[in-house]
Amino acid sequence: MANVSKKVCLLGDFAVGKTSLVRRFVYNRFDDKYLSTIGVKVSRKTVSVPHHDQIMALTLMLWDLAGSEEFSAMRASYLRGAAGGILVCDLTRPETLNSLFSYVEDLSRLNPKARLILAANKHDLVDQHQLSETEIATAADQLNISYYLTSAKTGNEVESLFRQLGRQLI
Amino acid sequence: MDPTIIEAILQDRKIAYAIADRKLNVVALGGEVELISATRIRGECTLFDLTPELVGNEATLADILAGQLPRFELAWVNRDTVDGKISYLTMVELPYRDHNGQIVGIVHLVDDVTEMGSLKQHLAQQRNELRLLRDELTRQNLELGVAITELQELDELKSRFISVAAHELRTPLTSISGYLEVLLEEEMSPLTSDQREYIEIVRSSTDRMLNIITNLLDVTRIEAGRIELVLQPADLSKLVQAVVAEIKPQLEAKAKRLKLHAAPDLPPALCDKNRAIQIIENLLSNAAKYTPQESQIAVNIALAKEEGFLEISVVDNGVGISAEDQDKIFSRFFRSKSAVAVGASGAGLGLHITRSLVELHGGRIWFESKLGQGSTFHVTFPIAG
């Protein structure tokens, strides 16, 4: 089985759940406590992806980047060589959806061919949603990418999100 | 420099290095070597085996090898430690040159910056938590703002309704009251004693209703800020005497005594005479309502302790106000338990209106009271001039 590695960056404002999505996908774990990421944390997970009637082993190198703007200066070095990006927003904080457009600019400037996907996270906090699915769909349409309503807490759509991006990468 | 010294410095400064050839196979390691590898590596390995963070950066490394990029840095790279903590590393990729200056590989430097990274993480954590809290407060504030606006609109609607309803009720009541007066004056025909008694009952009820309606209108005017005072110098003693004269028959009917004491040579107060009379009337009529038969009410007028003010005190030995009710006594539509218990009529607006009118004059109202032992209400008016 052929094996390829692809670098995927998780982008989004602080506390939208980037680290939690990676933790859920890679270790199938979730921790309610918010731990702010500084810099970058790289994790990896290999998934099997169908490709031309074959199954391919795709190792996703997941770059969980700090969401705080004080790390934006060094973001360029983190983004270099990214084949894909997961744009993460928080359904309970509308401003986190608007921010995604600037992350897309940063990533696309360095990696014009990078494939993107949108994760509208914290789907489990139904009572606190400030963003509707229509608004998410509109943003995804504008970026011409697909979107998933994810919950790192319950695991809802997390696997699908990463696998879908994996398929797009090969 | 002696290689041993270099090694000692690298270990002391928690710096490690790896040297890779042009195929990125690691050919040498030095310094604090355990910093370098994310996982334990045995035997031959590539730079990517040592440093997964470089996967995806093949083009960057190729640029360094081609002499097109002098340096590539990854700052604040997180690594999990065996004890479940996070270490922070700075990784730098540099061209490795031979004696002729030819690039023959890559120098991979790793610097342990965990101490500063932990501080930075702590600060970022606090800052982000504060931001989340601020955003939440902003959101709640907005929601409260919307709720307040809705409530204000409802309150305005209610005030408009009360105002319209009161106006509509007052007109026919005034007419009823006028015709009752005509009947009682026997201008058309003499009345039997039964007829007189019944008509007086109707008139008394009509007066009560008119009073309630007037109070409701006053409340809506006060809330809408539509009460304008005509301020002029006035002799408070005379105003009090006028009110006393008006309610005296009511007091005498129940054998209640009223003692009025005014300090000599008091300066005039600056007040709206009609509104001042309304204030005094409310206080005296409350005292009359809530005192038992054969009791005494005292009214004192003197200079207030607060400079520039006159003070009227109305003292009764009536039912008093419980401690529990004292905080609410000036609220709209509030009726104390003791007032309800003695069967006194009222809509719970008198003291609310009184306080608003006193405050419009720039004065104060307060009271002392004990349940079953009576109350003393004080109001102040500014001195004219």
Q: Say how many residues make up chain B.
A: 385
Q: Chain B: give the shortest CA distance to residue A67, in Å.
A: 10
Residues B37-82 have pLDDT tens digits of 756 566 688 998 888 899 888 989 999 999 999 999 999 999 988 8
pLDDT at B113: 94
Q: Where are the beta strands (DSSP E) in chain A?
A: 3-11, 40-51, 54-65, 84-90, 115-121, 146-149
Q: Which domains does chain B have, with CATH numbers?
A: 3-112 (3.30.450.20), 121-223 (1.10.287), 232-382 (3.30.565.10)
Shortest CA distance from A114: residue in chain B: B56
Mutate to test the interface with A, among B57, B73, B123, B126 (most CBs of A within 10 A): B57
Q: How far is A67 from A9, CA to CA, in rounded Å?
A: 12
Which candidate from B52, B88, B120 shows the least CB-CB separation from A61? B52
Partner A, chain B 24-83, Cβ-Cβ below 8 Å: 52-53, 55-60, 72-78
Class level of CATH domain A3-169: alpha beta
Interchain pair B55, A66: CB under 8 A: no
Interchain pair A38, B117: CB under 8 A: yes
Mutate to test the interface with B, among A6, A8, A42, A90 (most CBs of B within 10 A): A42
Q: How far is B385 from B362, CA to CA, in rounded Å?
A: 14
Widest distance between CA atoms in chain B: 137
Domain boundaries, chain A: 3-169
Please give the residue that has the higher pLDDT: either B3 or A140.
A140
Q: How far is B163 from B279, CA to CA, in rounded Å?
A: 21
pLDDT value at B36 more than 80 = no
- Reported ipTM: the value is 0.90
Interchain pair B74, A61: CB under 8 A: no
Nearest CA to B260 among B242, B278, B282, B233? B242
**Neighbour count for residue B82 (Cβ, 10 Å):** 5
- Collect all residues of chain B within an 8 Å Cβ-Cβ radius of residue A63: 56
Residues B192-206 have pLDDT tens digits of 999 899 998 898 888
- Collect all residues of chain B within an 8 Å Cβ-Cβ radius of residue A15: 128, 132
Q: Chain A: give the shortest CA distance to residue B56, in Å.
A: 5
Interchain pair B56, A6: CB under 8 A: yes
pLDDT at B42: 62
Shortest CA distance from A80: residue in chain B: B57
- Collect all residues of chain B within an 8 Å Cβ-Cβ radius of residue A35: 125
- Collect all residues of chain A within an 8 Å Cβ-Cβ radius of residue B72: 77, 80
pTM above 0.80, yes or no: no
Q: Chain A: give the shortest CA distance to residue B35, in Å.
A: 15
Residues A123-137 have pLDDT tens digits of 999 999 999 999 999
Which candidate from A42, A77, A81 shows the least CB-CB separation from B52? A42
pLDDT at B9: 76
pLDDT value at B341 more than 80 = no
Interchain pair B55, A5: CB under 8 A: yes
Q: How far is A121 from A93, CA to CA, in rounded Å?
A: 10
Taking the Cβ of residue B143 and every Cβ of chain A, the question of whether any pair is shorter than 8 Å is answered with no
pLDDT at A71: 66
pLDDT at A149: 98
Q: What are phi and psi of A86, to 5 degrees?
A: -110, 115
